[in-house]
Amino acid sequence: MELDFGPAVRDFRDELRDWLAEHLMGEFAEHRGVGGPTDGAAWEVRLAWDRELAAGNWLGVGWPREYGGRGLGLLEEIVFEYEYARANAPYRATGNALDLLGPMLLAMGSEAQKKRFLPPILSVEELWGQGFSEPGAGSDLASVRTRAERDDGGTSFEGTSRPIGVESGGEWVVNGQKVWTSFGIHADWLYVLTRTDPDSRRHKGLTMLLVPADQPGVEIRSIRNLAGQDEFAEVFLSDARTDADMVVGEVGQGWRTAMATLGIERGTTLLPQQLAFEREAEALIGLARERGALDDPMLRRRIVDAWISVRIMRTTNLRTIAELTAGRAPGPQATTAKLYASTRHQQLGHLAMELAGPAGQIVDEDYALDTRQRSFLLSLAETIYGGSSEIQRNIIGEQVLGLPKEPRP
Amino acid sequence: MDLTFSEEQDELRKVVRSFLTKHATEADVRRLAADPTGYDPVVWRRMATEIGLQGLAVPEKYGGSGFGYVDLGVVFEETGRALLCAPYFATVALAAETLLRCDDERARGDLLPGMASGETVATLALTEENGRWDEAGIRLTAHDKAGGWRLTGVKTYVLDGHLADLLLVAARTPSGISLFAVEAEAPGLARTPLPTLDQTRKQARVEFTNTPARLLGPEGAAWPALERTLATASVLLAAEQVGGAAAALDAAVEYARIREQYGRPIGSFQGIKHKCADMLVEIESARSAAYGGLWALDAGDETETAISAALAQAFCSEAFTKVAGDNIQVHGGIGFTWEHLAHLYLKRAKSSEVLLGTPSYHRELLAARLGI
């Protein structure tokens, strides 16, 4: 099944295909298919590739022109993701700002925030880290403890120069710890969910703040993931400061801002990932053929099931895209897709390792992993990030099926 | 290609559901399950005359309404949901599709209008004692004698074979697999209803002894047409399985909302809630499998249809059985009784799983079609 949305979109697609064919060369081509939301491999090349994309004005296809985007619609965004994945281009290093922060600012940011922050995202001049999770609050975001207090003396802002340049008459002082910040070690800025009302509980009294990372109050340490990569970071905030007008949305309404952001994440962003899974399944069939594994009835069955899984992921995604582009609210499959894809991708990883056999035990110098090893290990994160599978099941049970909530203590 | 349901298709779903809510109630299902005939001719007639279900996807020139396969899939989802007891799958998904695919314009003109109008109940007699759905499984022979073709042999597991007015029979001739039409009153035809595990769908053993038959299409050329028919029927059965699974989940969720244990609704316990969520994941994935097949059929893409049909049967069969089994678990002890509907869905699921070949068989078909 090919996506086709008519002549105008076809022109856009052709332009993109030509551009990718022309620019996905040399070092970039060698790193085709590298990366994923939790894959820290080939960071420098991927960052350079993002800058190449930025130079071609391909980042923010759907963002308004005044902030550096192309001002196109949902169809073009989908086609972009689809063609991008089809070309097997490296996973974008700045995905976090493009897929989460940018859309969040577009939806809930002030005009000054949009003008100040969106263009440098699209030109890859400023990198962002997400500060939602905490050591004591993984999936349970409402138990955030990082505190932010107003300091209206406003004397000690020592970060970069006033970020927006408007005299706002005050600052926020932030204290706490964040963790699992993807690629946080590279961040120039953080978007941080904080508790601004010390007496508040759960999702009340939270505020979303934009905090400069380059200041004495911010310390970022990388944490190695199980694949041996410096993929995520822990962030220590000790009297870190940010300007009063760095609140996204309203003070005390941070929960709404965060939820809107995560809602965006679960939209069309699954598409490129699933095309990558399809490619993995195809490669796996090739490997199985090479190893003569297709004659083994047990393996053969698992291989066919792997193919079935990726095909179902694709169709599920096309259903959601079709509903979105028809202006309809997506059906329940939009909510079940992540659980299905993450579970099935892990099975694919196990199968790949089994097919690799003893060769799968050997890694390169400096614990450099091959595609299959990386995919197998990193797939373990897919049932944790973006809401763990257990949380997904609660969401499906309560929000889609209407089952009663668990009594809260 | 439009991958969403149109407003007209949503409307069709409403109409069919409302009809079945009235005419295929739990009481009807239980009554007909216990009845050897297994269907209500009055309801059958109303399905045809009031909403035109039998002729929905039959082209207009043969007396149908000429709708597409996505539309027909909507109907099968609903008949599956309601556990409709009627020779609908046999007539529409098997017999009408066989005629549409075999190269015999005259036979189509003769036989399809009766099926579309609800006057003719028809079926496809393909499987034999070996239970196989492939070409090699067909052993029954046809002989060309003075006065026409005659069939001799046995077909079994024939859906609604004891009550069909018309049987389309796959038989072997010296030139290969050929297709024949046999009238219910034909001499030398003996039909025995088989007591079925799934009482909502009847099967029969059909014995042919020098039975006169009408050759459909060119002699020896029927297998490709039958293979395409089976692919189409596989997709439609998958749609029916999705509907059945969705009904089983609805029942589980409804029960989990009201049934209290330890002072609160059981649906508030994660053990039950997560089971229900997993049931929905299965169902939505099965929907994708079935809808992918329907889209391929409407696009007229034969390669894609063959692939997605095998995929749909491999996946949807197991999904329905899993969900129907989980529904019994959510219901606990009451779900294990004859009085509760849950077992009827489980039995329908298990019998649908093998109706057109087992999931393992379809995985092999898929592998072959993909060149794996």
Tens digit of each residue's pLDDT (9 = 90 or more) over B64-107: 999 999 999 999 999 999 999 999 999 999 999 999 999 999 99
Query: Among candidates B344, B370, B265, B278, which has minimal Cα distance to B83?
Result: B344
Which residues of chain B from 235 to 264 reach within 8 Å of chain A, CB to CB? 249, 253, 256-257, 264
Nearest to B270 among A322, A392, A406 (CB): A406
- CB contact under 8 Å between A305 and B292, yes or no, is no
CA distance B277 to B108: 46
ipTM at complex level = 0.94
Mean pLDDT by 10 residues, chain A (409 residues): 73 93 86 76 87 93 94 88 87 84 92 95 94 82 90 58 59 93 88 92 91 95 88 92 93 87 59 84 92 91 96 91 84 92 95 94 92 92 89 94 88
Q: What is residue A357's predicted lDDT score, i.e. its pLDDT?
A: 92
Q: What is residue A159's predicted lDDT score, i.e. its pLDDT?
A: 47
Residues of B in contact with A390 (CB under 8 A): 270, 274
User: What percent of chain B clears pLDDT 70, i.e. is strictly above it?
Assistant: 99
What is the rounded average pLDDT for all residues in chain B?
97
- CB contact under 8 Å between A394 and B292, yes or no, is no
- CB contact under 8 Å between B256 and A403, yes or no, is yes
From the candidates A285, A302, A305, A311, which should be mutated to test the interface with B, based on the most B CB atoms within 10 A?
A: A311
E-strand stretches of chain B: 122-125, 141-145, 148-159, 166-173, 176-183, 189-194, 203-216, 260-261, 264-265
- CB contact under 8 Å between A397 and B267, yes or no, is yes
Chain B contact present for A403, CB below 8 A: yes
DSSP B195: P
Chain B contact present for A378, CB below 8 A: no
Nearest CA in chain B to A2: B1
Nearest CA in chain B to A406: B268
Distance from CA of B216 to the nearest CA of A (A): 35
CA distances from B78 to A319, A343, B128, B350 (A): 20, 29, 30, 18
Chain B contact present for A393, CB below 8 A: yes
Nearest to B276 among A1, A308, A397 (CB): A397
Q: What is residue A41's predicted lDDT score, i.e. its pLDDT?
A: 78
Residues of A in contact with B3 (CB under 8 A): 318-319, 321-322
pLDDT, one tens digit per residue, over B329-362 is 999 999 999 999 999 999 999 999 999 999 999 9
Chain A contact present for B4, CB below 8 A: yes
Distance from CA of A319 to the nearest CA of B (A): 6
Chain B contact present for A329, CB below 8 A: no
Nearest CA in chain B to A325: B4
Chain B contact present for A391, CB below 8 A: no
Residue pairs between chains A and B whose CB atoms are closer than 8 Å: 128
Q: What share of chain B is helix, strand, coil (3-state, %, to 5)?
A: 60, 15, 25
Per-residue 3-state assignment (H helix, E strand, C coil) for chain A = CCCCCCHHHHHHHHHHHHHHHHHCCHHHHHCCCCCCCCCCCCHHHHHHHHHHHHHCCCCCCCCCHHHCCCCCCHHHHHHHHHHHHHCCCCCCCCHHHHHHHHHHHHHHCCHHHHHHHHHHHHCCCCCEEEECCECCECCCHHHCCCEEEEECCCCCCCCCCCCCCCCCCCEEEEEEEEEEEECHHHCCEEEEEEECCCCCCCCCCEEEEEEECCCCCEEEEEECCCCCCCCEEEEEEEEEEEEHHHEECCCCEHHHHHHHHHHHHCCCCHHHHHHHHHHHHHHHHHHHHHHCHHHCHHHHHHHHHHHHHHHHHHHHHHHHHHHHHCCCCCCCHHHHHHHHHHHHHHHHHHHHHHHHHHHHHCCEHHHECCHHHHHHHHHHHHCCCCCCHHHHHHHHHHHHCCCCCCCCC
CA distances from B142 to A326, B171, B217 (A): 53, 6, 14
- CB contact under 8 Å between A322 and B3, yes or no, is yes
Q: What is residue A32's predicted lDDT score, i.e. its pLDDT?
A: 79
pLDDT, one tens digit per residue, over B110-168 is 999 999 999 999 999 999 999 999 999 999 999 998 889 999 999 999 999 999 999 99
Chain A contact present for B316, CB below 8 A: no
Residues of A in contact with B274 (CB under 8 A): 390, 393-394, 397
**Contact yes or no for A258/A208 (Cβ under 8 A):** yes
- CB contact under 8 Å between B367 and A304, yes or no, is yes
Residues of B in contact with A308 (CB under 8 A): 289, 311, 314-315, 363, 366
Residues of A in contact with B249 (CB under 8 A): 401
- CB contact under 8 Å between A308 and B289, yes or no, is yes
CA distance A20 to A153: 52
From the candidates B7, B255, B269, B273, which should be mutated to test the interface with A, based on the most A CB atoms within 10 A?
A: B273
Residues of B in contact with A321 (CB under 8 A): 3
- CB contact under 8 Å between B288 and A315, yes or no, is yes
- CB contact under 8 Å between B284 and A340, yes or no, is yes
Q: What is residue A346's predicted lDDT score, i.e. its pLDDT?
A: 96
Catalytic residue list of A: 265
Chain A contact present for B293, CB below 8 A: no
- CB contact under 8 Å between B267 and A332, yes or no, is no
- CB contact under 8 Å between A404 and B268, yes or no, is yes
